[in-house]
Structure 1
């Protein structure tokens, strides 16, 4: 069967990619996870593995061409026997290798790889590029149902239980709890045909040893070494991107990799195999002392902070409490630094006379709560004013992708919500420009309730084009927030306070005053637009006939 390969999405807001190198040509054979091509975008350069095993039958674009995400770029026919017989005229001169092809592919065709489904790190929200695995609910060899919880993932915005998209048996788990993985990277695989013995066609030994890979590293390679591996072809051996990255990180070349026996599906080298090899790499014949020495080595870096902490003078060492950051806090720290490095932040600030709005709300809030079942807050009015300003200044509702400006036609307002014990989350009011003030209030109340019950979905957290945060709820006057990437602005208000103000007729009056801050990305939003945007919001809050909107 011919399988199409399309241009993959390489990251948030990336719409195309440039082919920099083809590793295969039409007529070549390729294995699952063998590198097919290299792709470059403005954010990343990546080697792209083949999702299929078979023969390359089409390559539709040349090196150097830029192709939109989702467009077909190549095709692989996984019917190896049909391809070999159909192309007999071109391969007649080499009958022996041609005959060997099907035989070598047979383990893959009859084994678990033809029904092996990849589970990748999901995107947990707008601008989130990675997630941290906090807990696996299943282990290698366990059975799982569709929508049964497979693992828990944490980001700076949300902690979520991730259901399995497939039904079957857990074949691979590629990352440990506590590891942070980029969005779209394979983290596990599920054998979707549990009726077949795991690793059939001679691969039952690796399958059986896979769950015990960490405890029986020596027996698993011995079992797999006696059988052909579908990961080898023509004297070459192929490895998953995870193993390639680990090899590059630890300075292990391909010659060394070739000596690693794999305990994964079909004899493939997995992470456990590689780490076991790394521990025993270059060890002396003294088998027992060597593992002991190498096992203590990885622990050394973790233990290093302790001596440093104890080096503090004894008079103060007892007065310091060391608290490890949780995964959410570490992710927040990373993303805040990334935002500051990406966007030159500029802050325009002014004060808002909220007296007219204050009097309207005081007189209407009880009727509103009776009608809607929840309280009318100043946030609802500010969100409405932000929508009007974003309609007037659509450039603020944009994002920057490379050298392009992407103007968003929909206004999706993110609203920061503090969740006690769970940090800060930013659910998104989708299509806020199509809602009246009651609609905005209803949608925000729905999202706030879901946030506090920890029931926000990925859709609730993604797609924001502009963000609002209310620091006034903590009793402070003003703040300068950090932009949520890849957005270009964020609006912040402080608390309302009574202050004496000089009026237009030079009288002194007591007014309800509030400070507002518009923080924007100076790469695109200049001071003129950023300040006019702020002034538009202020004018809406001060002059609108609110009664006419309800």
Structure 2
């Protein structure tokens, strides 16, 4: 019998949650076949069988948390898929029959022993130790065990057996309420503890006055929640705002979108403009492209830009590598690629690691203004918002309706001063409002 264990996934991943079993007991598998999907903090990964044979046993259920090295299944390398479940079922039933037979014999012996003890005079030392309340009680071992589990006094239970022997069903009946006489006895002898227990149960039931539904958080959602709180606790996060006139970008995009699509087979979006602007601003203000490691500031000489993508399971931030070396078409294709992977659950760990700065676009959902939270250990994140026409005073003092967007920069004040943050955001504004220079520089 070969054990299948949770393999080493990555340096930063030590545990996961079983999202779905891809096989069932009795299935034939070959070495390397995927047998389950494991949900980790970052991505879903498939665990493969490391031996060929028949799935003899699944040791974990869907939804169970497992760690690297845990045994999750067993493979019978000499087994056959056909009839494997039946044979294992027969073996299991035989074992159960043997256990039941042994338990029955043991129970009968104990019953006989108790009957003999009951025939002894009531003045025996054993009876004195048990107390007068238990002298006349005749119960099966299973009933005694059940009574201990439920905290019920056997002397208060009426047996339905003609011989007066208390059985497990009598104990269960007493636990549910039993006869009115039994309820009165129980309430009089255990009034205080039962009142306290009922009060506790009532408080749990009335936690909400109206219907609710409890949903277990996915591992990814738990990780997102934990890390967002950690960022706020461990960084000195501030946010600065500005607004951008999108007139020129929208006009340029309108002029070039058809030829761009025809040439590159992808649409020209706003994200490529902002990505180019971010790269240009990071080169001028390198502390926004850094991180803190101990007592050192690590300035990154590369520009791997994270793109926040919303999925059904939560927010993920895949990375567009070397954005400074890509043209507009390369950036648009990179963004489309990671977004598709994210929504189809095809992201690999490498797609999420190593970003130097992040862009998040809440505007696609209609957000007008927000304070984005840092994607630790990065020290800067740019938030984009909805575009709306607003009145703007022009240089010639005329008032025009212009398409405006609020932009927000959250930064870690431990290494980025307010002056740098404001200038960084203003530089992005300048490049977006004059996209022709941005195109030439790109």
Q: 1:534 aligns with which of 419, 422, 425?
A: 425
Mapped contact 1:166–1:190 kept (Cα < 8 A): no
- Deviations 1:165-215 (Å, cap 9, x if unpaired)? 844578998876434467xx43348999958xxxxxxxxxxxx9xx99xx9
Pairing of 1:95-114 with structure 2 (within 5 A): none
Q: 1:357 aligns with which of 234, 244, 249?
A: 249
Change (3 A) 1:294 1:156: farther
- 2:338 equivalent to 1:464: no
Change (3 A) 1:133 1:358: same
**What does residue 296 of structure 2 align with?**
404
Structural RMSD (CA): 4.1
- Deviations 1:384-405 (Å, cap 9, x if unpaired)? 1111222222222222233333
Mapped contact 1:166–1:192 kept (Cα < 8 A): no
- 2:367 equivalent to 1:476: yes
**What does residue 70 of structure 2 align with?**
187
**What does residue 119 of structure 1 align with?**
6
**What does residue 46 of structure 2 align with?**
162
How far apart are residue 121 of structure 1 and its match? 5.6
Distance (whole Å) between structure 1 residues aligned to residue 297 and residue 317 of structure 2: 24
TM-score by length of 2: 0.64
Question: Which structure 2 segments of 5+ residues have no match?
Answer: 79-87, 100-140, 152-198
Q: 1:376 aligns with which of 244, 264, 268?
A: 268
Q: Higher mean Cα deviation, 168-177 or 448-457?
A: 168-177
Mapped contact 2:391–2:402 kept (Cα < 8 A): yes
Mapped contact 2:8–2:14 kept (Cα < 8 A): no
- Deviations 1:120-172 (Å, cap 9, x if unpaired)? 46349xx87753332344689987545422432335654x2423284457899
Distance (whole Å) between structure 2 residues aligned to residue 403 and residue 174 of structure 1: 46
- 2:195 equivalent to 1:310: no
Distance (whole Å) between structure 2 residues aligned to residue 293 and residue 401 of structure 1: 57
Pairing of 1:10-409 with structure 2 (within 5 A): 119-120=6-7, 122-123=9-10, 131-137=16-22, 145-155=30-40, 157-158=42-43, 160-164=44-48, 166-167=50-51, 177-180=62-65, 185-188=68-71, 307-312=202-207, 317=209, 319-327=210-218, 328-409=220-301
**What does residue 309 of structure 2 align with?**
417
Change (3 A) 1:405 1:370: same
Distance (whole Å) between structure 2 residues aligned to residue 193 and residue 177 of structure 1: 21
**What does residue 275 of structure 1 align with?**
none
Distance (whole Å) between structure 2 residues aligned to residue 523 and residue 290 of structure 1: 63
**What does residue 13 of structure 1 align with?**
none
- Deviations 1:20-60 (Å, cap 9, x if unpaired)? xxxxxxxxxxxxxxxxxxxxxxxxxxxxxxxxxxxxxxxxx
Change (3 A) 1:141 1:447: same
How far apart are residue 468 of structure 1 and its match? 0.9
Tell me the secondary structure at the aligned position of residue 337 of structure 1: helix
Mapped contact 1:167–1:190 kept (Cα < 8 A): no
TM-score by length of 1: 0.52
Tell me the secondary structure at the aligned position of residue 232 of structure 2: helix
Tell me the secondary structure at the aligned position of residue 186 of structure 1: coil
Tell me the secondary structure at the aligned position of residue 395 of structure 2: coil
- 2:335 equivalent to 1:450: no
Q: Higher mean Cα deviation, 161-170 or 460-469?
A: 161-170
Question: Which structure 1 segments of 5+ residues have no match?
Answer: 1-110, 196-207, 220-285, 297-303
Change (3 A) 1:191 1:134: closer
Q: Which has the larger radius of gyration?
A: 2
